[in-house]
């Protein structure tokens, strides 16, 4: 089996310090969380940024500051900015971090309800537009799929030439409005993938560690972090993203799966 690529989604756009005081807002806090995740074994840092008051932003300069500051302390990490941003942002707003030509960026592959009155909008034409900008700027997309219809969208856009190989998917399961994160959901997603694709699994909330374990067993990869889950165990807040990554490393070790370094991750994902 390939070594395990761990992605740490250290910040997100939805969780706040009211949920967990360790959620990073400032550049210093973001660097602290990225380093803790990297030191514990994460190869990829999935990055959202906030202003100092915690308000999510896709501002290019804020991303540039955060990426440069992260690279200063962990130069070899793969930094993967979000182009999803927060619900309600415009496409152009969301695309700003791609102007910095990172190695990877997310590409969200369909629209879904996002709790309450929120809708995370990614129309077919939006996806084509994001794909054109992402590939055009020499960035590898992580294809974020919140349900099986999003995989079908990727397959259709691949046939039409908008999505290119190698394809790396991220299943984000358990969002309030997307597909749930039961084992059968994971199996259905995994078995629906195109030939040769790699995948990572992010389980939201209580699904984080069960889905991570399933993915470790099945040869997939894993995403954990405050964006998806703020608890290290039921009712106990995680102290850091590093603590969440450490738990994955322990589970992987028990199950005989080695952890990929960033350079090994680059090879597995065919980034180089």
> Does 82 interact with Zn ion (rule: CB under 5 A)?
yes
80 binds Zn ion (CB under 5 A): no
Shortest distance in whole angstroms from residue 13 CB to ligand KMH = 4
Residue 107 or 216: the one with the smaller Cβ distance to ligand KMH is: 107
The full length of the chain comes to 272
Rounded Cα distance, 87 and 78, in Å: 25
| CA–CA distance, 169 with 53 (Å, rounded to integer) | 32
Let me know: does 46 contact 80? Beta carbons within 8 Å: yes
Task: Using the minimum distance from each CB to Zn ion, give the nearer residue, 82 or 96.
Answer: 82
Cβ atoms of residues 177 and 115 within 8 Å: yes
Only segment of 32-40, 106-114, 128-136, 211-219 that touches ligand KMH (CB under 6 A): 106-114
Site for ligand KMH in 57-96 (CB under 6 A): 82-84, 86-87
* 229 makes contact with Zn ion (CB under 5 A): no
- DSSP state for residue 4 in the 8-state scheme: B
Pairing of strands 44-47, 6-9: parallel
Q: Within 10 Å of residue 210's Cβ, how many Cβ atoms?
A: 16
Shortest approach of Zn ion to residue 97 CB, angstroms?
11
Q: Which residues make up the interface to ligand KMH (CB under 6 A)?
A: 13-14, 82-84, 86-87, 106, 108, 114, 120, 144
Q: Which residues make up the interface to Zn ion (CB under 5 A)?
A: 82
């Amino acid at each position: 089996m390939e070594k395990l690529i761990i992605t740490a989604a250290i910040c997100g756009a939805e969780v706040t310090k009211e949920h967990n005081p360790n959620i990073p807002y400032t550049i210093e806090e973001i660097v602290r969380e990225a380093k803790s995740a990297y030191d514990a074994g994460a190869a990829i840092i999935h990055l959202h940024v906030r202003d100092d008051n915690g308000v999510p932003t896709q501002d290019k300069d804020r991303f540039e500051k955060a990426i440069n500051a992260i690279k200063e302390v962990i130069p070899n990490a793969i930094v993967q900015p979000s182009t999803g941003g927060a619900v309600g942002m415009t496409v152009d707003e969301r695309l700003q971090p791609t102007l910095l030509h990172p190695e990877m960026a997310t590409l969200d592959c369909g629209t879904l309800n996002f709790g309450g009155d929120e809708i995370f909008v990614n129309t077919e034409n939006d996806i084509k537009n994001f794909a054109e900008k992402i590939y055009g700027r020499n960035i590898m997309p992580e294809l974020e799929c919140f349900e099986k219809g999003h995989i079908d969208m990727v397959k259709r856009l691949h046939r039409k030439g908008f999505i290119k190989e190698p394809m790396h998917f991220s299943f984000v399961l358990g969002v309030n409005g997307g597909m749930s994160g039961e084992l059968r959901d994971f199996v259905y997603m995994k078995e629906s993938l195109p030939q040769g694709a790699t995948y990572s699994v992010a389980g939201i909330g209580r699904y984080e560690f069960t889905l991570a374990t399933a993915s470790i067993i099945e040869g997939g990869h894993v995403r954990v972090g405050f964006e998806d889950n703020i608890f290290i165990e039921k009712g106990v807040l995680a102290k850091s993203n590093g603590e969440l990554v450490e738990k994955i490393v322990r589970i992987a070790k028990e199950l005989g799966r080695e952890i990929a370094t960033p350079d090994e991750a680059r090879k597995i994902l065919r980034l180089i």
